[in-house]
Structure 1
Amino acid sequence: MMASNISEFDRTISFGEAALQRIRAFRHPAHPTNYEFWFTYATGFNAGLNDAVNKIISAGRAVTPEEADTLYQIHIAPSHLSQKVDKMGAMIVDEISQVMAMIDAARGSASAYDQSLNGLEESLGRIDQDRDQVRLIIGALIQATREIQHANDELEQRMVETRQEILALQLNLEAIRAEAMTDPLTQISNRKYFDAALEKMLAEARRGERGFSMLMIDIDHFKSFNDTYGHLVGDQVLRAVATGLQNNTKGQDVAARYGGEEFAILLPDTPLRSAVTLADNIRRTISAKELLRQTTGERLGRLTISVGVATYHDDDTAQALLERGDHCLYAAKRSGRNRVISETDPEAVMHISDQELL
Structure 2
Amino acid sequence: MAEEDDHKRTIKYGESAISYIKKNTLPAYPRSYELWYTYSAGYNQGLNRAINETLKTNGRVSTDEMLTLYGRFLSPTRLGDRLDEVGSKVSKEVEELVDSLQLSADATSDYGQALEKASAKIKTVTDASKLQTYVTHLVKSTQKAVTSNRKLESQLLESKKQIETLQSSLEAIRYESLTDELTTLNNRKHFENSIERLVDQFHESGRGFALVLTDIDHFKAFNDTYGHQTGDQVLRLVALAVKQNVKSEDIACRYGGEEFAILLPNVSTKDAAEIGERIRLAVMSKELVKRSTGENLGRVTISVGIATYRDMDTAHSIVARADKALYAAKGDGRNLVRTEQDIDDTEEEKVA
Q: Please state whether the residue corresponding to 1:310 is helix, strand or coil.
A: strand
CA distance, structure 2, for counterparts of residue 104 and residue 291 of structure 1: 65
CA distance, structure 2, for counterparts of residue 214 and residue 318 of structure 1: 10
Q: Which amino acid aligns with 1:103?
A: L
CA distance, structure 1, for counterparts of residue 206 and residue 43 of structure 2: 37
Query: 1:105-132: CA deviations, max 9, x gaps?
Result: 10221232233334434544664x2111
Residues 26 and 247 of structure 1: CA distance in aligned 2, closer, same or farther (over 3 Å): farther
Displacement of 1:344: 1.1
Matched, 1:241 2:246: no
2:144 to 144, 147, 155: 147
Match of 1:282 in 2: 279
2:87 to 80, 89, 102: 89
2:187 to 169, 190, 199: 190
Match of 1:294 in 2: 291
TM-score, length of structure 2 as denominator length: 0.79
CA distance, structure 2, for counterparts of residue 198 and residue 112 of structure 1: 58
Residues 204 and 347 of structure 1: CA distance in aligned 2, closer, same or farther (over 3 Å): closer
Match of 1:219 in 2: 216
Displacement of 1:171: 2.0
Unmatched runs of 5 consecutive residues or more in structure 2: 1-16, 49-72
Instruction: Give the conservation status (yes or no) of the 8 Å contact 2:43–2:180.
Output: no
Match of 2:70 in 1: none
Instruction: Give the conservation status (yes or no) of the 8 Å contact 1:343–1:349.
Output: no
Instruction: Give RMSD over aligned pairs.
Output: 3.0
Match of 2:8 in 1: none
CA distance, structure 2, for counterparts of residue 268 and residue 312 of structure 1: 10
Match of 1:110 in 2: 108
Match of 2:302 in 1: 305
Residues 26 and 286 of structure 1: CA distance in aligned 2, closer, same or farther (over 3 Å): farther
Residues 179 and 290 of structure 1: CA distance in aligned 2, closer, same or farther (over 3 Å): same
Unmatched runs of 5 consecutive residues or more in structure 1: 1-19, 28-37, 54-61
Displacement of 1:264: 0.5
Matched, 1:98 2:96: yes
Match of 2:258 in 1: 261
CA distance, structure 1, for counterparts of residue 276 and residue 326 of structure 2: 12
Q: Please state whether the residue corresponding to 1:259 is helix, strand or coil.
A: coil
Match of 1:336 in 2: 333
Instruction: Give the conservation status (yes or no) of the 8 Å contact 1:213–1:271.
Output: yes
Instruction: Give the conservation status (yes or no) of the 8 Å contact 1:217–1:305.
Output: yes
Worse-superposed segment, 238-247 or 159-168: 159-168
Query: 1:61-84: CA deviations, max 9, x gaps?
Result: x958333637x89x9365322222
Match of 2:324 in 1: 327
Runs of 4+ in 1 over 4 A off after TM superposition: 20-24, 346-349
Worse-superposed segment, 151-160 or 79-88: 79-88
The aligned length equals: 308
Q: Which amino acid aligns with 2:102?
A: D
CA distance, structure 1, for counterparts of residue 277 and residue 204 of structure 2: 30
Matched, 1:69 2:43: yes
CA distance, structure 1, for counterparts of residue 75 and residue 236 of structure 2: 20
Displacement of 1:195: 0.9
Q: Which amino acid aligns with 2:43?
A: D
Query: 1:194-242: CA deviations, max 9, x gaps?
Result: 1111111111222343111111110001011111111111111111111
Q: Which amino acid aligns with 1:301?
A: G
Q: Please state whether the residue corresponding to 2:341 is helix, strand or coil.
A: coil
Query: 1:9-39: CA deviations, max 9, x gaps?
Result: xxxxxxxxxxx99746468xxxxxxxxxx89
Instruction: Give the conservation status (yes or no) of the 8 Å contact 1:92–1:169.
Output: yes
Displacement of 1:102: 0.5
Worse-superposed segment, 137-146 or 331-340: 331-340
Instruction: Give the conservation status (yes or no) of the 8 Å contact 2:253–2:260.
Output: yes
Q: Please state whether the residue corresponding to 2:310 is helix, strand or coil.
A: coil
CA distance, structure 1, for counterparts of residue 322 and residue 113 of structure 2: 75
TM-score, length of structure 1 as denominator length: 0.78
Greater RCO structure (CA 8 Å; 6+ sep): 2
CA distance, structure 2, for counterparts of residue 100 and residue 233 of structure 1: 55
Instruction: Give the conservation status (yes or no) of the 8 Å contact 2:328–2:343.
Output: no
1:138 to 135, 139, 156: 135
2:164 to 158, 167, 176: 167
CA distance, structure 1, for counterparts of residue 236 and residue 188 of structure 2: 16
